[in-house]
Structure 1
Amino acid sequence: MLNGRRILVGITGGIAAYKTAELARLLIKSGANVRVVMTEGGKAFITPLTLQALSGNPVHLSLLDTEAEAGMGHIELAKWAEMVVVAPASADFIARFTVGMANDLLTTLCLATEAPIAIAPAMNQAMWKNSRTQRNINELTQALNVYIWGPGEGEQACGDVGLGRMLEPEQLHACINNYFCHGPLHGKRVVITAGPTREAIDPVRYVSNHSSGKMGYALAVAARDAGATVELISGPVALPAPSGVKLTSVSSALDMLNAAEKATDQGCDIFIASAAVADYRPEAVPEQKIKKSQRKMVIELIKNPDIVASIAARPDKPFTVGFAAETQDVIAYAEGKLKNKKLDMIVANDVSDQRIGFNSEDNAVTVLWDGGSQSFSQQSKLILAGSIVELIVSNMQP
């Protein structure tokens, strides 16, 4: 798939730059044409001569390159590239790229190119977890034609352990190959529910829950990046719609069920029910606001339909993934839901832990399916979503 593809590799300042030499070798071996752009920081960790020898092309270093045709090297490179891969992408580069700066050759050509841009973050685990870095990453995930690959988890050069390692060259090579062969979910339609539902008490009041929708939105981005056509059915949240994803906004559980059934009727290969749907709703909703006239008020509640079980019971059932947000006996409850609702997979997490789950940027989950399970330690929901999508792909029937 990479034969003849034009890949522009950007190298920023980070110890992981040594891995990029192997990435360049793998790309060349696959038949790709590779050109390399290095920042000043990148040159401190690996020499341009090494990348020139591996790529077979001069390494580009300066925005004001007098040897470039018409002195417009950034425009030439921007038009040449079919994909830009920045590996390693430092926290500094990510910050500058996010706000649209153009103060070196690499950031300038990222503004000038119409090619997809893939970012492979590499930094200390504390820098990765920093709220400003996460804000930048969250913004980039909403951008059209920008992909975040990684980071991985493990021991770092400084001795710390955690998220922040650049993906291995083989992993990045696979990501690039998947992009050009349209990804493992190319041709698949994925429907995802996200966020809370609101169940009206009267015209101005409702009952709801603390779901932020962040996990569902991250899954929509991961499925999109894997090549799927994605419809996101979202309850009320304060999140921007991911680019390249169809967003259907709903309020109540009944609204969400209707939207889910309609979306499935239109064709659905994978249904992921990550929404925190209210289990009950008021039986009667008055047309006028209830006045505060009594010391106590009793509201009769009736059970809402089970959306994921309804989709899983269809004769044209898609691969159906549920979520089990529990506060105790998490795995036991999840196993029961997996079996009783006839799901293909379920993602279980402990929402009693304030560090993860509702309203958090991170999550820690156990994914269960018939005959298997895999646990993931606390990590960014964006990274976790990619791992969940990979598990779905590996467990679907060919």
Structure 2
Amino acid sequence: MYLKGRHILLGVSGGIAAYKIPDLIRRYVKHGAEVRVVATANALRFVTELTLETVSCNAVYRDVFTSSGPRTAEHVSLAQWADIFVIAPATANIIGKLANGIGDDALTTQALAFHGPTLVVPAMNNAMWSNAIVQRNITILRDVARITVMEPASGDLACGTQGTGRMPEPEQILTATDDLCAPQDLKGTRILISSGPTQELIDPVRYISNFSTGKMGFALADECRARGADVTMVCGPVTTMPKHSDINIVSVTSARQMYDAMLNEQRRGNYHGIILCAAVADYTPSHAEQSKIKKTGDNLTLTLCATQDIARDIVANKNAKQWVLGFALETDNELDNARGKLNAKGLDYIVLNSLRDPQAAFGHDTNRVTIIARHGAEQQVPLMDKREVAQKIIDYVITDHQS
């Protein structure tokens, strides 16, 4: 995450979704940001000033000028302090004022004076959201003011109807805010990532697979996208998805399907980097039965055949400027085996996972890895959240590849 040490100015306007803002503030603070709140009068009818002050540990600003204290330029002082400005919830009223340059309260004057990264999070009735004038104002914010505007969520609305207009959840707003703080050092690049397990059919009801959840691959995809890359993922059967909705997803099931999808993407995609994070089966049944295999004795013998080597053929087909990063999961002689795989496949980098770490690898939200480069350099990454691990991996590759 990129929020540590950041100054976040959080503008709260008068929508029912304001009751979720204390949760958002807690998340910002947990990730090391300092938060100051500027609220409209209507916002404080939905969430109390005391609550906002308690969770942010700072006074709430609601007036253009204070009646006491030092005579500073209150209407712009917060804008000068902030690194990033988040307006959530952003009502149709506030969006209209910002789009037309109106600054008639503490929130809008600070917004007009702020020229850094700004995130607007709309929340309103679906009929208001679809109004042509509101949509015109959204376009002005995006195209003229270069402000990032989140898409509202769909679902149950406060008025009792269903539709598009709900404020995204605090976790989604946190991710969007963090993205605005991320360096754009991958802007203009294309990254291809494989993730998740594969399933090799035995019969219509059974298959061979592993415990991969795809979480590390998704973390890498989200990290690359946050840093400006155009990302495509080839995913095996998974139950979760990346947080960024604009990541292109190609879904596959078997090792053969993943092989075909990855090689096809590499040939046509003009990718700058390829990350092989999927846990692909090394062997597959030589024949999948068309009917369920019945239990007829104490033993069952399956003939397994080696699957095609995705890493080997990706490397064989890469161009001179393309880098390829693979993963290795080892249980014994971890470093030696990972180095051996790096050299045997011809990879530029390999990331070593170890099953000896109880909170790392499959199924966990945390990981501990070792990054190994082809030229022999290594970097240890201690146990941390997988998104933070992804940040360390991409930091390493960018620095090394550009050196």
Conserved? CA contact 2:360–2:383, under 8 Å: yes
Partner of 1:349: 353
Displacement of 1:244 in angstroms is 1.5
Displacement of 1:80 in angstroms is 7.5
| Gaps in structure 2 of 5+ consecutive residues | 1-5, 11-24, 40-51, 80-86, 95-100, 125-137, 151-168
Partner of 2:76: 57
Conserved? CA contact 1:224–1:245, under 8 Å: yes
The yes-or-no answer on 1:393 pairing with 2:394 is no
Q: In 2, distance between residues paired with 1:18 and 1:272?
A: 30
Partner of 1:286: 289
Partner of 2:160: none
| Gaps in structure 1 of 5+ consecutive residues | 1-6, 22-34, 87-96, 102-111, 119-135, 150-171
When structure 1 is superposed on structure 2, of 44-53 and 203-212 the one drifting more is: 44-53
Conserved? CA contact 1:36–1:59, under 8 Å: no
Partner of 1:116: 148
Displacement of 1:342 in angstroms is 0.7
Conserved? CA contact 1:52–1:59, under 8 Å: no
Conserved? CA contact 2:350–2:371, under 8 Å: yes
Conserved? CA contact 2:37–2:60, under 8 Å: no
Could you tell me which amino acid in structure 1 is paired with residue 9 of structure 2?
G
Q: In 2, distance between residues paired with 1:354 and 1:47?
A: 43
Matches within 5 A, 1:77-116: 84=117, 115-116=147-148
Q: In 2, distance between residues paired with 1:302 and 1:352?
A: 29
Displacement of 1:371 in angstroms is 2.9
SS, match of residue 296 in structure 2: coil
Matches within 5 A, 1:1-398: 9-10=8-9, 37=38, 40-41=53-54, 44=57, 57-59=76-78, 74=107, 84=117, 115-116=147-148, 139=172, 146-148=176-178, 175=181, 178=183, 183-241=184-242, 242-266=244-268, 267-316=270-319, 318-369=322-373, 370-397=375-402
Could you tell me which amino acid in structure 2 is paired with residue 387 of structure 1?
K
Q: Deviations over 1:5-51 (max 9, x none)?
A: xx994166899999869xxxxxxxxxxxxx98486258845998999
Q: In 1, distance between residues paired with 2:31 and 2:283?
A: 54
Q: 1:231 to 1:16 in 2, by over 3 A?
A: closer
Q: In 1, distance between residues paired with 2:75 and 2:218?
A: 41
TM-score normalised to structure 1 length: 0.65
Displacement of 1:296 in angstroms is 1.1
Conserved? CA contact 2:75–2:110, under 8 Å: no
Q: In 1, distance between residues paired with 2:317 and 2:117?
A: 43
Deviating runs (4+, > 3 A) in structure 1? 11-21, 35-39, 41-56, 68-86, 112-118, 136-141
Q: In 1, distance between residues paired with 2:215 and 2:32?
A: 34
Could you tell me which amino acid in structure 2 is paired with residue 341 of structure 1?
K
SS, match of residue 76 in structure 2: coil
Q: 1:18 to 1:253 in 2, by over 3 A?
A: closer
Q: In 1, distance between residues paired with 2:207 and 2:379?
A: 37
TM-score normalised to structure 2 length: 0.64
Q: 1:72 to 1:349 in 2, by over 3 A?
A: same
- State the aligned residue count: 307
Q: Deviations over 1:163-217 (max 9, x none)?
A: xxxxxxxxx9xx46x4xxxx11111110000000000101221000000100000
SS, match of residue 59 in structure 1: helix
Could you tell me which amino acid in structure 2 is paired with residue 10 of structure 1?
L
Conserved? CA contact 1:192–1:272, under 8 Å: yes
SS, match of residue 317 in structure 2: coil
Q: In 1, distance between residues paired with 2:397 and 2:74?
A: 36
Partner of 2:3: none
Q: In 2, distance between residues paired with 1:55 and 1:273?
A: 52
Q: In 2, distance between residues paired with 1:385 and 1:348?
A: 13
Conserved? CA contact 1:84–1:117, under 8 Å: no
Q: 1:253 to 1:37 in 2, by over 3 A?
A: same
Displacement of 1:83 in angstroms is 5.4
Identity of aligned residues (%): 29
